[in-house]
Amino acid sequence: MEGAPPQLLGVIHEKDSFEFSYAFTIPALQDTAELWYPWPQSDEFQTIHEIQYPKELKPQILRDSANLTAVAYLKLPPHAKAQKLNWRYRVSRLEKSAYQAPRPQSNQYQAPTPLLPVGGRFSKLVNEALDGKTLVTDLVKARALYDYVIDNVRYAKQGTYGTGDADYACDARSGNCTEFHSLFIALARTANIPARFGIGAALPAASQEGGVNGYHCWAEFYAAGKWWPVDLSEADKYSALSTYYFGHHPANRFTLSKGRHIKVEPGPKQAIPFLAYPILEVAGQSLQVKSQFSFKRLPMAPANQEKEAL
């Protein structure tokens, strides 16, 4: 793929505009059920101009202030028939590069969480990646960790992949985007570099509409007064873009939620390590929900349109 056009490598530069469809099917219910799913937010890189969804549902919007994310919550009545629900978002998106921000005040982006340990075995890996170098900047350290993960983890959907477990990523040395970014975040935090997680969808760059093949995740780390976006799994798949993905996310992305170990009230009985697909619980038991993402590109929205109030 060396020398291929950016569109063929999944990259749209500068800006993108699209309608994103988030659909899922609720099975027939005999008992009262509870449903949680992502509630995407506008930010400086993503503007949600309009949301279309079945208004009779009236979801309650729950906030996880620690992760700066929102979760929609519905209580579903018993004896409901199977139904397909669809949310459509009209979105403008900007390409993301390193952006200035105050250093995080708390240690939340350096502390361990379930599935993201800090220290221990990861200290040894950090030392190996840095090759004994200590008098270097956090930006240089982060690049060394980025390269180390790409060199030592193989993109492969095999085994117990997709859990976001940094220990599994360390052992298996393979996985999907969750393994790449879980391991990177664990290593960065071990090196005292704040790092955080995002998840959503990567829209095909070379087509104007169609399906989206499941979720995609990424990360950011803090150094030199900026948050730096990274995408290790895409860099692993497309080596020609490994430099680009250290400090950039393309415009053809849609963020569904942010953070790891998401906590909301009321929350599901199962933990939420990250949130892309709906969580359905009936009498405290989880049921699988079939989900489907699709998109359609739109003309660029006027710059003076206000963001959706969420």
pLDDT tens digit string along 219-232?
A: 999 999 999 999 99
DSSP string, 267-304: --SS-BSS-SS-EEEETTEEE--EEEEEEEE-PPPPTT
Burial of 291 (0-12, 13-18, 19+ CB in 10 A): middle
Question: How confident is the model at residue 245, as a pLDDT?
Answer: 98
Summarised one tens digit per residue, pLDDT across range 122-151 is 999 999 999 877 778 999 999 999 999 999
The C-alpha atoms of residue 78 and residue 31 are separated, in whole angstroms, by 4
Residue type at 296 in one-letter notation: K
Highest CATH level, class, for 96-255: alpha beta
The C-alpha angle 20, 162, 32, rounded to 5 degrees, equals 70
Q: Which pLDDT belongs to residue 304? A: 41
CA angle, corner 11, sides to 68 and 9, nearest 5? 130
For the domain covering 14-95+258-297, report its CATH number: 2.60.40.2250
Q: Which pLDDT score, from 0 to 100, does residue 254 have?
A: 98
What pLDDT is recorded for position 77?
86
Give the residue range(s) of CATH 3.10.620.30 domains in the chain. Answer: 96-255
Residue segments in the chain with a per-residue pLDDT below the cut of 70: 1-8, 301-310
For 185-233, the pLDDT digits (tens) are: 999 999 999 999 999 999 999 999 999 999 999 999 999 999 999 999 9
**Which residue spans of the chain are classified as CATH 2.60.40.2250?**
14-95+258-297
DSSP string, 230-263: E-HHHHHH-GGGTTTTBSEE-SSEEEEEE-SSB-
- 75: exposed, middle or buried (Cβ count in 10 Å: 0-12, 13-18, 19+): exposed
Supply the pLDDT for residue 300. Answer: 72
